[in-house]
Every structure is written in structure tokens, then in C-alpha cells.
Structure 1
Amino acid sequence: MHSPLFGSMLDNKEYSRHIENFRSSISPPKGITNGLHCHDFRSPSDFDILVKLAKDPAGVGNRELQQRMDQDQQFRQQVLCAIVNGGKERFLQLCIDCNGCFVIQKLVENGSKETNQMLLNLVRPLAFKMVLNRFACRIVQKLVVNLSGSQVRQLFCQQFKGHENTLVTDQNGNHFVQCVVDHFAPDVYGPFILALANCPTRLSAVFENKYGCRVIQFVLENVVQLVHGTANANNSLEKEISIQILHVLIEPILKNAYSLAQNEFANYLVQFIIKSPYLRRQRCYIIKTHIIRNVYHLSLLKYSSHVVEQAFKHAEDRCNCLAMLFREVLEGYKPSTDGKQRTALYEMLFNQYGNYVVQRMIPIARDVYQNRRPGDPNWLRHIAHCVQTNMEALSRYSSGKKIINSLHPVIF
């Protein structure tokens, strides 16, 4: 009777016998010189044994297999040949198995050019399925870092064309894209990103996706360094493609920053532009076009309040952005529920998100007050007066206590 645990290929006795064969061939008993020989996996039945050991749920056969592959280069080559001869579908079944994938990874590690080419031939037609799988994705990542840029570019063009959106928004596929971006120049992944950006609606969905926004930010981090930062492009083509990527990704963010700032994931892209020392012009554009006149509203929302915080922190005096931000909070009046006109500052002090923006404003206003940076010294006086007037109510909240303590020398 076949064991339900190990499937129908081997029963428990056969499985135990093959494990013992492995152990004996790896460490022959003392005094025995020839010992038992492990399978060379040339026959279909032997390949079934290889698959069963590799997929062993208990992990014993898998560990024995990997150990033998480490110790015996010839055996390692036999395993490779058996897997190649086993066909694409059986290869895929090993790759997507939580244990079997480690045997394939072992083949990839320190593999020769010939080995990598043999594995690439297997992976190529299965690449899209593999990168969307939790276990197989690791194999593809390990393999591509050993390939040339032209091989990876070809893989992108042949296997992922038309699937750009799916790939970057998938919980596994996004790691593959980031791996390529991390290890290769923009001329390798550039066509993929440009194709992704070709459809505004599709790109907007990527911005607002948990995984997609991280891919976009990672790409921006890399190309910004190549265009403006310390990283040097290897050739003019590389820099030209970097500029193209930067343009097609940043333009829609600048255009839609107001709505993106309010999104759970896309707000990180807006923050990235505001915080980057190389994107000052774009930062100023976002603040003046999308945040000014909306400071109060954005400060009261969970995600956009983080964007407003960064706007205060990184706004520059020379473009008057900082003064405009402070003026809107300190001088802007908003109708309250009781019909009274209260300053935006008052409403923000008692809001669960807005109070963090005020906490960000205080050290900036203090620096201005102490002549450490340009600005209006009255900013701190305005904040201190509002806090002092409402100290009793603020002291009921932990956030209010923090604000009071940060102004302690000024108030008292």
C-alpha cells in the first residue's frame, strides 16, 4: 500500500531504502570500500525517486540530496541532466514545491555558464508562471543574477511582454522585478518600465497597489541616482534611458499628487519626491500646486497627513513654500460644528492626524525663532498662544501633552 504522505510513487519501505542508499553512498560503513552506490537517475523510475526525495515533506531526503550534490560534482551533474531530461512540466512541479525548490536552487548556486544556460532553457517558457509562485520566484531570481544583461533583457521582452501590470502588482512577481532593477542597468529593464507606463490608467493602478508602489519607488531611487546623484551611468544610452524612465514615472505623480497623497500606498511616492534632494523643482511644484490651499484638508486624513509633514520638513525658503504652508495653518479659518470660526491650527491640534503635522511645525518654527533659518519669528508665538489658550483641553490627550512639552520653554 502506498503511503498517503509521500504520494503514489514510493511506499514507506521503498522510501526508507532509498534514504539508506543515500546515507551509505555518502558515508560508507567503516571497512567497506565500495559501499552502496546512489542512483544516477538515468531511468524514468530513478527520476521518480529523485522527485520524491526532493519533495520529501519531512525534509530528510531533500537534505540528503543537497548534501550529496555539495560533495560530489559528478552526482550534481547527474541530477542536472535528469531534471533537464525530465521535461518542463516535471521541472515546474519541483520548482513550485516548498522543498523541491531548494534542490533546483542548489543547482543554480555556483553553476557554470553551461549549467545556467541549461536551466535558462527550462525556465524561459515557464518564466511567467514561476515568478508568480512563492517558491519558484526565488529560483528565477537566483538564476537571472548569473545571466548577462542581454539574456535578461531578452527574457523580459519574450516572456513578460503584455504582463507588466500583473508582474509588478503580484506579491511574488514584484520581488523579481526589484531583483532585476537592483542587479542590472536601466537599459535591461527600461523597455519593461516604459511599456508599463504606456497606459496611464494601468500605471495609476500600479501606484495605488501595495506591491506596485514599492517597485516604482525602487526604480525611481535607482534612476534618480543615475541622472542626478552620485551613481555614474556606464554610457550615454544608460543615462538616456534613465531620463526617459524618470520622466514617464514622475510626470503622472506630479499631475495627480493630490489624490495620490490620500492613497494608502501611493502617498509614499509623493513623499519620495518631496524628500529627494535631487528633485527640488518637482517638490516645489507638488507643494505649490497640490498642498497649498489644501493643507488643512490633507492634514486631517490618515495618509496625506504624512505627506504634509514631509512638505513642512523639506519646504525651502527660497521658493516661499515654507511661508505659504505656515500662513495657511496659522491664518486660515475653518467653520466648526458649533458655528464658530476657528483657525486651522486649532482644529489640527485636536485631530488624530493633524496633531502630528503641528508637532512637525513646532521645531521648524523654533529654529526660525532662534535665527537658525529664515522665516517669521511670529510663527512660534502664534502656535504657543493657541496651545496656551487651550492647554487644559490639550492636556487630556497624550498628543496634546507632547505638544505642550515641546513648547514648555516658550509657554512658561
Structure 2
Amino acid sequence: MNKFLYFFNLHEGEDDKENVLESVVKNISFRGANAWILACAIVVASVGLNVNSTAVIIGAMLISPLMGPIIGAGFALGTYNFPLLKKSMKNLGIATLISLVVSFIYFLLSPFKDAQSELLARTSPNIYDVLIAVFGGLVGVIAITRENKGNPIPGVAIATALMPPLCTAGYGLAIGNLAFFAGAIYLYFINCFFICLATFVIVKYLKYPKINFVDAKKEKRITRSITFLILVLVLPSFYFAYILLQERKYVNKVNQFIQQEFVDRGYTIIYERLQFNAKPKKIELAFLSKKMDDREIQTFQERLKNFGISNTELIIRQDSLDLKADILKEINKQSYVVSEKDITIRNLSNRISRFELDHPQLNKNIQVLFPQITSYTIGRQTGYVSADSSIQSIALIYDANTELEEAELFKLSGWLKNQYPKDSVIVLKR
């Protein structure tokens, strides 16, 4: 048993406590270089959120110095160093203010105001964010107290994600959306508090010496205050987690309904929108060629109950146009003449390299517009006329139930040319 516990002994490899405290205190201040680094990191994170780039956001989190005052506050609570706690909270406030102002100005000036998925992900925190903050904080403070620091700190900065919520809060202020601002700030406070709490727990466990004498009553009061803050921050996150779970269940039921009632019956859906927060909830659909009368729509509305979907309105968006016929008509308008280069490539029997294309929307459209085609291969190929002369083209090789007539081949070639206007097109039967 002792050997087993030895593997989990945090005192093993622990750095000198005075060195650790000195390092923590150095990283608290937000003046000069730290303030500039923070401001620049906030701009980088805001750009990443604005253009929905996960890689840019991760880069911004890696250069952010926000963890310093939060870790400092945890050490201050654990050692009852109230001057250090005051300094940590002051610098955390300054860092938060700088971040909000910089992100607010950026999003105010940015021409792109749409809420991307990376932004929306920071507006509804739940209990899982609490778990990330707690265990991320534990990893961070354990690494800080080691003699050999290792490399967990960058991972902690990415996992606990302090900067994106602050940038999202600035975005909410810039567009006047207080719900976005409130959700993002709440997530930021969750991360800050539980990283601080994890630090407090490890500092107490490693028995860092108390700086100031604290009587039992005052120590109990501090413990009660921490417990109260835990409840205040955790309880709403449970509610958000419950709402998220209900939404996921609802979406799964709706997907099952759409698959069985429409997709499996051969209806091609070109538009789908689900409004979970509307009262009543709404499912909006539009089809490529299927038209429904009021009686059919009412039948499908009643079938929602068979899938456990209640308090939901089914809306079928349709107009008087036949979209499939309209697309084919547009293709017929396109003039397509096979060039000499195409003919040259068509006759090549060697020195051809083919790269297959992955185009889900193209696959869906081919099945609708040309149902005779049972299978096909499409790829970008390079044809070599000579050793130093090559021609790029798009080649589609197909199998069909019935032979495609010349008019159908013309339509298929024209349609492909429409999809790839910069390339020549080859259509061949396998």
C-alpha cells in the first residue's frame, strides 16, 4: 500500500516553497510588458473568434499572462497572505478591464459582426466547464510547485481558456447583446474561481506556511465564504448543463424524424433550421422538388408525437417554383463546347495521375439531377501531352442503369463545367 501511495506523493519532486512563492509573486503584476502582451494576445484571440479560427485562438491562449494573478490569489488564500490576496485581485481586475476594453474596441471596429461557432461556444457555460477549470487548475498548480516544471503549463492555458470568454464578453458589449456578455463573463468567473480554488487546495495539502496568524473563527469564516462562492457559481452551471442535455436529446429526436419521414422516402432536403428556444419550438424544412398541401403537412405534424417531439411546429418552406426543373433549365442555357485540349486528354492512355475529389454537396446533386447514374468516380487529373507539357482537367467516370443520351451527357458536362469553371471537363462511361 505504501509503495502504491508513493507514486501519488506530491511531496516527491517538490520545489523549495520560498522559490515557488517568489515565482508566483513575480507573475502577478500587470504593468509594462505584461500589459502589452495581454493586450496583443486579446487582439489575436478576438481575431481568431471573429474569423472562427481555432488555431489562432489556441495561439492567443498560449501567450496570455492571465493565469498569474489567479494562481497568486490561490496561494494567498492558502497561506492567509492577505496583502498578496489584495494585490492579486487588484491585478486580476486590471487584466480583466484591459481585456474587455481591447476586445470591445476590436469588435466595435470589425466589419464582421456575425456570431461564429467559436464565439457561441463561450456564451452558455455548464458543469463541464467547472470540471475543466478544477482539473486544469490542479494540473497548473502542481506543475508550478515542482522542481522540474515540465511542460503542462501551456496545456493548462489552453484547457482552462481564460481569454476567449473575455473576448466574447467584449463582443457582447460591442453588439449590444447583454445575454452574450453575461454568459461569457460567467464562464470567465467560473474559470478564475475554480483555478484559484484548485490552487488553494494544493497549497493547503502541501502545507505551505501561513504568513499571518489566523484564529479559528477567521479561518472558519474564510472556509464558509469559499463554500458559498462554490455554490453560487456551480448551481447555475448545473442548470445550463441540464438545458444542454435537453437540447441534445431534442435534436436527436428531430434528426430521427427527418431521416425516417423524409430522407428514407427519397425527399431531398435543401434547407433545414431548428429553433429550440422558440415558443413553440420550430422545425423549418424546404425540399428540392417535393410539394405538400396543407393536409400532408398536418399529417407530418401529427407524426412528430410518434418520435416523442412535443410543443413543436413543423414549417415547410415552399413556393410555386420547381427547383429541380429550374436548375436543369439553367444548365440548358449554358453553352458548353468541348475544347481541343479536352479531346487530346480524352485520347491519352498513359501518363495520367488522378486525384479523387471529396464534394458531399456535389454527390447529393448528382443523385437528384441524374438518377440514372448508379456510381461514379470524380477527380482532378493531369494529362501529359509531352514530357514538359501537361493539361489539368476534371474527369467523371460513371456507371448507369441506362445509357445516357447525348442531351443528358451535354447537360451533365455543362453542369460540371458550372461547378468547376476554371477547369476543362471530361465525362466517360466506365
Tell me which protein shows more helix as a share of its residues.
Answer: 1
Q: Structure 2 length as normaliser, TM-score?
A: 0.28
Q: Structure 1 length as normaliser, TM-score?
A: 0.29
Larger relative contact order, structure 1 or 2 (CA cutoff 8 Å, min sep 6):
2
Tell me which protein shows more strand as a share of its residues.
Answer: 2
